[in-house]
Structure formats: C-alpha cells, structure tokens
Chains A and B, each alone.
Chain A
C-alpha cells in the first residue's frame, strides 16, 4: 500500500516535470508549474558574475557582419545582436535569447522581450536630423503597454543639440564622431530623459545612450561592425 502511494506520488511529480502529454503546444497546468519552477531556480541560482565585455574585437572581426552591443545598466546585462530584419530605414536587431531592438538611423524605435518594453516611439524629427548632425526641435510620443493592457502614450518635447566633435572608442576601436544631445521633457508629471548619440561623419551612430522606459531606464547601444 505504502509503495503504491509512493509510486503515485512519483508519477505526480513526473507528470509535472516531464510534461506528460502529446499536444503539439503544451497548454496544460504542467507547463505553468514547470515554468514557475524554472523561474524560482533561476532566482535562487543567479547567473555567474560577468567579467569584461561579452565579446572581443577579434571575434567581431572574425564574424565580419553587422553587429551591435546592447547594455542594460539596470540589470547589468550585456548582449550582442545581429540583424533580424529590415523594413525601410528600420533595422531590427536580435540577441541570442530573442530580445529585439528596432532602430531607425540609430534612433530607438521599439524593444521586444525585455519586459518593460518600448512598444513604439515616434522618431520622425530625430531620424532626419541625427545623421546630418543638425540641431532640431520636435515632439516625440513614446508608447507602452500598460499593466491593464491599454496603450499608454507619453508625449515629450525634445531638443536635439550638436555638442561638437569627440573621439569615441567602441570595443577598442576609435571613431571620430560628433556628440548629439537630445533633451526631452513631458508636459505632465515633470518626467524627462536625455539621450546621447555619437554620430560618425557618414551619419553612422557608433555609440548611444537611449531611454527605454521607467523600469528599464536607459540602454547603451554600440555599433561593433558596419
């Protein structure tokens, strides 16, 4: 009797962990329990501390393809990303674990997979002025999916200023750039952010610090390879 009980209990555990079933897409309670367990395990066992950048210049040159490096200071995470798709002047970059950034002429349009994502941002004033390193004034709407699933639109008023030439080192490679400062503030709530872009003579944004959302804060995007 006791062994039978134990056997049943083992089967119970196995059904949860092993994923007992043959559905092409597992929608059962098992998948949820399994997912929760993974989250708990990940929380209890933090990832090993990272020392130095996740990639070297030699690896970049060996890969010989367009590549960016993304830094999220809030979490301390860093990842490289490659081109996933191109739609007009929008380039979508993807990391190994499926996070994407979409940039228009180097200006952040959207993020996916971070959690507190930027759904979409207007870049119309920015994307024309940035490659020309020209000062400009414009309004920007940043859209988010709020906790109640509605689309939240935050309107900012921005000023783009040319702060002069600066040599910028990106992963051991020196670029001569112009530093552009974009100061944005919201009419309501006193919210503001300041983005920085280091733009090369041909309009390439080699380095930038750009606002994502209240929770994710700023991210850094560096262009490692053309």
Chain B
C-alpha cells in the first residue's frame, strides 16, 4: 500500500463532524459598537445632521443610506488614519428644479481632520470640510469639539460656515456667495476660495447611550436648508431641533429614526465594518502538512548520501513527486533545480492571497519529498513568468521552527532573500509545463454610475476567456462578452465633448458592441535586469483601444518606493466590438512613482493621456495586511474645466477586496472596484491588463512581512 492510500484508509476510521466557525463571529474582543461614535445622515461621526469631533476606530469603513424629505443620500466613508476621515456622497433630491432636473443627483466629497484627540480633560476637536469638491450644494466647513461625560453621555458643540451658518451668530471673514439654483451646474472644482468664509453659525448635540444597543440623540442644527425649503420648496423647515433614536446591532450596524426640523421623519441605515475585523475570525483553510524531521546524521549517516543526485532519473522522480503533492495544496511547480544538497523551487501560487502561506506550505512539502541530503531550500515565487524575490531556508531551521512558539518570526529572521533570483533555465522547467491552454466561462458585470439621467446602469453577461502560455512569460489571450440582461444600451446621451472622444462615446460601444471582442492580445513578461521587470503587450488591449503597450518597472525587494515607465501607441477601435479601427491614434505614456509608507500606498503618474492631454494622476490608498485597499485618485491635466465638462476633472474612489476575507478560505482573487463619476475624455488612461506593479507587489518586503504570520498557517 502506498503512503497516500494508507493515509486515506487511516483517515476513514476517524468519524468527524468537526465544523467551522462561519457566521457572525466577531473578532476583536474589545468590540463594543456603543462606545464608538454613530453616523449622521451625512455619514460622518455625529448626531443626526450635525457632526461631532469623535473619531471612528482606525481603518473603519461606513456605508450609510439616509433619507428624509425626499432626499436620499448614499454614502461611503473611511477613517483612513486615526485622525483623518474621508467620505463620498451621492445624493438624490426629488422636486429639486435646479438646472432643469426634476430629480437632482449630486456627488460630494468630505474630509475631516481631528486636531485634538479626546483625553480625560480635553475634548476632541475636529475640523471638517463638507462637499468641498463638486457643485457645493452641501458646502460647509466646521470646527467642532466633543466630550464624553461618563461612558454613556456625549456632548458636542461647534461653529459652522456655509450651510452650517444658517443662524449666523458671528459675521466672520470675507464673503461667501449664496448658492442659488442657477449655480447648481457643472461643479467639480475644489471650492477653496470660499472655505471658512462668510457668516458663522453655531450648532450642538447631545447623545445618550441608554443601553449598549440604544442611543438617543438630540441636536440643534444650524443648517437652514435655505435652498431646499425657501427657494425650491423641497420641504418646510419649521424648527432647528432634531430628535432621534439609533438601534445598534452587535455587528456594528446602525438603524436610526428621526423627527427632523419640526416637520419631517427621517431614517438611516449604516453598515460599519473594518477590514481588520474579518467575519470568519480567522483562516478556514485546511491544515497544512506537518513536517517529519530527518533522522539525525549521526543516527543514519547513509540517509545523507548525495549519490542519488547523480542519476537523472532519480532527480526526475523527486521532481515529479514534488509537483504532484504541491497540486494537493493548490500550488504548481514551474521548475526545479536540484542537486545533492540544495533545491530551488520555481513556484506558481494559485491558491493563497498571502505569499508567505504559499511558501510555508511549499516548504513543508519539500521536507516530505526531498531526500535528506538536501539541506538548502530556495523558493522562487513566479508571477506571470517573472521571478519574484526568492527566499532561501535551511531545512534544519524548518524542522526545528515548525514546533517553536516563535517559529514564524525565526523563519523570517533566518531567511535569505534575493531580490533578483537566478532565472528559471529551460533545462529546469517542468516538462510539458508549456504550452498551457486554459479557457473559462464566467459572468461579468459592467456598470455606468452617476449619470444624471439614470445614476445606475449595468449589464450582466457572460465572458468567454481563453489563454495560452507558449513559453515562460509569453501569453496569448482573448475574451469575448455577450450580454444577458442590462440597460447600458438605454442611453441616449450623445457626447458633447470638445476633446477627442476617447471615453465619452461609451454609449456607442455599449449599444453596438454586443456580442463583442473585448481583448485579443499577446503579452510578454520578463526580467530585463537586476531589480527590473518588463512587459510588452500588443493587440486589442481593451474595449476601446488597440495597439502596443510597453512597460518597465524598477522594484527592489526592500525599498519602500518603486519607479515605473510605460509607453503606448494605440488606435481607437470601432464601436461594433470587431476588429476594425477608427482614425484616432495617440502616443500615450507615463512615468510612475510608487511609495509605500506604513499602511499607505501612494502613486503618482505623470505623462500624456489618451486624449493627448498632459498631466498627472495622484492616488493614495490605505492598505490593510489582509489585502484590502481603500483609495482615492484625481487626475489633473492641461484640459480646462470647461473643456473637460461635467465634473471638471477625473476623480474617483477605488476599493480592492480580497474575496478570501468573506469566506475565510484562501484564494488569489482580489477584485478591484472603481467608483468614478461619469468618465469623460480628459485625464483618461489606457486600460491595459497586467500592469507590472500589481503583479510584483505581493513579493515586496512590506507585503511579505505584514503577512508573514501565515508562513506556518
């Protein structure tokens, strides 16, 4: 009986119903949502409509839907730093006859900075900007102070400008033009020249945590809703006082009901969660293989003989066994170089979001399969045919540290890292690894958000993708899509852009391009030199452009920064999703700097965009150890705000969500979502797949070290 079969028989004698901890388990032991500030109808910490100075726990995310008087606010906010909170709001206002809309849609962005954190004596003090980019219908600034009186009572008082200056108790500095319905048009410009200008109002609130799950609120609001109630008659503001009650669930969800401004009933629902608080309370991956140490050299010197390695057959047998067992762990061997005392494994990780977990599992299997004389293990993680920084371990360290309390820390300390490991040679490649052909049929979704005539459009359909790897790093791939249901084609918007229509013709692509060829391209990935990564891609690169794209990235293992350069020549594709091209062509490219500092990743791209405009994109992301990223970006080019059109410049929010976070089961699927107000033609970048930083990041020092706890997981 072979070892594996014997093991299976043994397993069957154990009867098991041992189950997992899925469900609403809560990770942090100090998790008491009642002690955290609750969210206002504007999705910032505070009472009902007025803000408080309190901060959410670091990294906390909030989604709030609030509704009153025909106004609905869909909002997302993040405490991106212990002192900094950022928010995005999409508002739907019925009967708001500005700029010819009967139902008016508005986007706005908030930023809050907590200058003083609360202590036993001092109150917290926060400075906030509300709707500081955009049409500014919610434009307001405030300085607010808040203090707990005991655990259950909290009071706030503040001074407000803009909307929050309704009761104008002070006259302040400078002028602030009153917002009239006619001005509610283009928007998008930061309203910097009116910040903290004009009249000053005063507001205040009291919150009382009656029980751990019930919060009562009362406030005096200095927002007079002049525009809505006096000029447009959206509702009747009869009082400055608001009252409300919030029910808090154990998971941090808030359900609130309010009596507002003496005339209206309001409701809101807030989901609060934190990527650092996964719903499963830990990884549910099956256990890894245990390490069985070799007999000591003194006890069995013959086991350490290296003579086996002289036979090519023996080496091939070891190689094929290793490749076989790696597949059990959802890992693939691309190549193995082995001699009597050392082995280098070229590893493709298809199973684990955390690279240390893949390396730990591979190392465990190497100890079970490789002959005892092999003492030095090197693991080279492979990404699209490129060798990522490699890790070299001593087998005796693995044997010892598997069962040491500080084993994970010890393995990291003893590992030798090579930023540019030796290339995988042809002779060491697993036989018949190439060519590899893969295909896949999967659902796709395409959305168009925040279009004033219909803020949510989407298509759901099928994508058939196929790819073939002919050799290491050389991939031919293509995909076609066929819509099943959706309303993206119900868009009569005709682009009025004065720039080349590089993006604004998207309704034509939606309408005429179904079924359509999405991509059809050849890509080659390689390592051109020390610390360098390279990519060449040619073909139908995305739905709207075809051409050639080339990129090089300098990213040593242990520097916080990396530098990239990309150069593309592309022609615009026909709307019908076939092979034809239009006349418009452009040379576009960027120089990029990536900088990782603690939990933040900053990226600046400078160069020429698709419409031939020059400028720069700034992106800042808050990163989490488990792969979540929450970020915002903005692009400024030499296109004027009026030429750009609605929104004035390209900007948006990105969310990167590792799917394993929800299920607790490791996968490498980490989809990224971008929420951007209607994309226009200025500041548009080519959407080529497989950009280098995304492929290389998982092998860089910060990433590897923050997930190192998973080495023995």
**Chain A residues proximal to chain B, CB less than 8 Å:** 5, 8-9, 11-12, 15-16, 20-25, 27-33, 35-36, 39, 42-43, 47, 50, 54-55, 59, 63, 65, 67, 70, 72, 74-75, 77-82, 84-88, 90, 92, 94-100, 102, 104, 109-110, 112-117, 119-124, 141, 143-151, 214-216
Residues on the A chain within 8 Å of B195, using CB: none
B323 to chain A, nearest CB (A): 11
Known contacts A9-B484, A94-B14; 18 additional CB pairs below 8 A are A23-B440, A27-B669, A32-B663, A43-B23, A65-B10, A65-B13, A67-B14, A82-B11, A97-B18, A98-B287, A112-B288, A115-B20, A115-B25, A115-B281, A123-B405, A144-B282, A146-B27, A215-B281
Q: When the two chains form their complex, are residues A96 and B462 in contact, meaning their CB atoms are under 8 A apart?
A: no
A92 to chain B, nearest CB (A): 4
- Is B442 interfacial (CB-CB < 8 Å)? yes
How many angstroms from the CA of A9 to the CA of B484 in the assembled complex?
6
Q: When the two chains form their complex, are residues A90 and B442 in contact, meaning their CB atoms are under 8 A apart?
A: no
User: Which listed segment binds A: B243-251, B587-595, B681-689, B705-713?
Assistant: B705-713
Contact flag A32-B19 (CB < 8 Å), given A63-B13, A79-B14: no
Q: When the two chains form their complex, are residues A35 and B462 in contact, meaning their CB atoms are under 8 A apart?
A: no
Contact with A along B664-677 (1 / 0, CB 8 A): 11011101000000
**SS class of chain A's interface: helix, strand, loop or mixed?**
mixed
The interface on chain B, measured as residues whose beta carbon lies within 8 A of the other chain's beta carbons, has a size of 86
How many angstroms from the CA of A179 to the CA of B588 in the assembled complex?
76
Residues 692-713 of B contacting A (Cβ, < 8 Å): 706-710, 712-713
Q: When the two chains form their complex, are residues A15 and B16 in contact, meaning their CB atoms are under 8 A apart?
A: no
16 contacts between A and B (CB under 8 A): A8-B484, A12-B460, A25-B330, A35-B665, A54-B15, A77-B19, A80-B16, A87-B293, A92-B290, A96-B12, A97-B16, A120-B406, A145-B710, A147-B275, A148-B706, A149-B709
Q: When the two chains form their complex, are residues B442 and A24 in contact, meaning their CB atoms are under 8 A apart?
A: no
B663 to chain A, nearest CB (A): 5
Residues on the A chain within 8 Å of B282, using CB: 114-117, 144-145, 215
**8 smallest beta-carbon distances between A and B, as pairs:** A85-B290, A149-B625, A79-B18, A98-B286, A96-B16, A21-B440, A20-B441, A112-B287
How many angstroms from the CA of A22 to the CA of B284 in the assembled complex?
25
A8 to chain B, nearest CB (A): 5
Q: When the two chains form their complex, are residues A39 and B713 in contact, meaning their CB atoms are under 8 A apart?
A: no
Residues on the B chain within 8 Å of A16, using CB: 442-443
B208 to chain A, nearest CB (A): 28
Residues on the A chain within 8 Å of B351, using CB: 25, 27
Nearest A residue (CB) for B21: A115
Nearest B residue (CB) for A32: B659
How many angstroms from the CA of A202 to the CA of B708 in the assembled complex?
39
Contact flag A80-B15 (CB < 8 Å), given A87-B291, A112-B713, A120-B712: yes
Q: When the two chains form their complex, are residues A12 and B17 in contact, meaning their CB atoms are under 8 A apart?
A: no
- Is B213 interfacial (CB-CB < 8 Å)? no
- Is B438 interfacial (CB-CB < 8 Å)? yes
Counting chain A CB atoms within 10 Å of each CB, the highest count among B15, B287, B485, B712 belongs to B287
Residues on the A chain within 8 Å of B654, using CB: none
Contact with A along B472-513 (1 / 0, CB 8 A): 000000000010110000000000000000000000000000
Residues on the A chain within 8 Å of B671, using CB: 29
How many angstroms from the CA of A150 to the CA of B23 in the assembled complex?
22
How many angstroms from the CA of A27 to the CA of B670 in the assembled complex?
10
Residues on the A chain within 8 Å of B293, using CB: 87-88
Residues on the B chain within 8 Å of A146, using CB: 27, 276
Nearest B residue (CB) for A9: B484
Residues 400-418 of B contacting A (Cβ, < 8 Å): 402-409
Residues 434-457 of B contacting A (Cβ, < 8 Å): 437-443
**In-complex Cβ contact of B21 among A32, A59, A215 (8 A):** A215
